[in-house]
């Protein structure tokens, strides 16, 4: 997990989960990306994700994967701007009360 701070307050996070199984250890899953609303657009999200990508490369990972809710254009622009590409859609990935949200599956080759 990486954190982004403003003064002493944690205002952004980004995490990386590495697959534990030997046949999948070359992949990492980007999880828990969040930037507080009053700090969005400041470049903090890009900085956190860039640092995560650098750490993944240094650790020898070959692929990063993440998902983004369909319709979340700002997040999608961030991910595409850092080189992530869509490889599929997971229908009904999230259930929020009585409605479902599809997620776009994205990956970045690190080699």
Domain architecture of the chain: domains with CATH = 2-109 (3.40.630.30)
Which residues in the chain come in under a pLDDT of 70?
A: none
pLDDT of res. 81: 97
Alpha-carbon span 65 to 49, nearest angstrom:
12
Alpha-carbon span 48 to 30, nearest angstrom:
11
For 37, list phi and psi in degrees, rounded to 5: -50, -40
pLDDT of res. 19: 84
pLDDT of res. 106: 98
Q: At what angle do helices 73-81 and 44-58 cross, to 10 degrees?
A: 40
Enter the pTM of the model.
0.93
């Amino acid at each position: 997990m990486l954190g982004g701070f403003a003064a002493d307050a944690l205002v952004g996070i980004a995490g990386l989960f590495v697959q534990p199984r030997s046949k999948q250890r070359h992949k990492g899953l980007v999880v828990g990306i969040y930037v507080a609303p009053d700090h969005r657009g400041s470049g903090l999200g890009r900085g956190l994700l860039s640092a995560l990508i650098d750490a993944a490369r240094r650790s020898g990972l070959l692929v990063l994967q993440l998902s983004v809710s369909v319709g979340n254009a700002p997040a999608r622009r961030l991910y595409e701007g850092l080189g992530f590409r869509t490889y599929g859609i997971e229908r009904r990935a999230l259930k929020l009360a009585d409605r479902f949200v599809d997620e776009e599956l994205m990956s970045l080759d690190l080699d």
